[in-house]
Amino acid sequence: MRRAVYPGTFDPITNGHLDVAGRALKIFDELIIAIAVDNNKVTLFGIEERLRLVQEAAAHEGLRVRAITFSGLLVDFARKHEACAVIRGLRAVSDFEFEFQLALMNRKLDPDIETLFLMPRDTYTYLSSSIIKGISRLGGPVSHFVPPPVEAALWARHHPHSADKPPRYREEVLLEPNGPATTPRTTEPHASLSPAPLSDTPATPVPSPFAPPSALPAEAASPEGVPGSSRVVTADTVPYA
């Protein structure tokens, strides 16, 4: 059986993480999501909360994974669970340098454990747990970025005294069964869109410089607009714009 380890902080787990996990399951028979305890990061959720959220998120997405917490060297954890590879997600080129260093160091520590880089779906390449936590802290919607269990946990952590539900995106509100409350459209047109009143006075035709001389009034045919001039406007003397 080919087993891989997908390590990370997962504070919290996002749709990008779940997308990488799903791609790894197409390659390996079993996937262990390893949640790091000591990683020099100040986390929003404790280790037990992160473990629970990973389990609930994976179950919500129908992913057959094992979630385990670990501390110490990653290669020791992988060796203990007889994993042959480490899965890492790459969102952009900027991630590669750091991940490349980790992969080479892990290879030095244990040459038998390979590192496999997987790219998430393009709609998740800009996601990060830090950005999502910032949006949630400021009261923004995050339902497009995390599964429902994580969305509820973020809202409860950042807004513990709020009786409101997590905010939704506009298109999600429009798709709700009862629909949003709409304002009835007024039957009177806007003042700026009202048509101008019709006049009984016929409009004065605007002379065209390309009309034949017979069709131009005397004022238009005179040079420099001077009435009474005897200059005749012909096709050769009409200026073109």
Catalytic residue of the set 50, 88, 129, 133: 129
User: Phi and psi for 164 in degrees, rounded to 5?
Assistant: -80, 160
110/82 Cα distance (integer angstroms) = 12
Query: Is residue 6 within 8 Å of 69, Cβ to Cβ?
Result: no
DSSP H or E run through 158: helix 148-158
Please tell me which residue in 17, 50, 88, 133 is annotated as part of the active site: 17
Which residue among the candidates 23, 52, 81, 91 is catalytic per the annotation?
A: 91
Is 17 labeled as catalytic in the residue annotation?
A: yes
State the residue for tokens 């709700």: 176
133 is catalytic: no
Q: Is 158 a catalytic residue?
A: no
Give the amino acid at 134.
Answer: G
Please report how the helices 47-61 and 15-25 are oriented relative to each other, as an axis angle in degrees rounded to 10: 60
Known catalytic residues? Answer: 17, 41, 91, 129
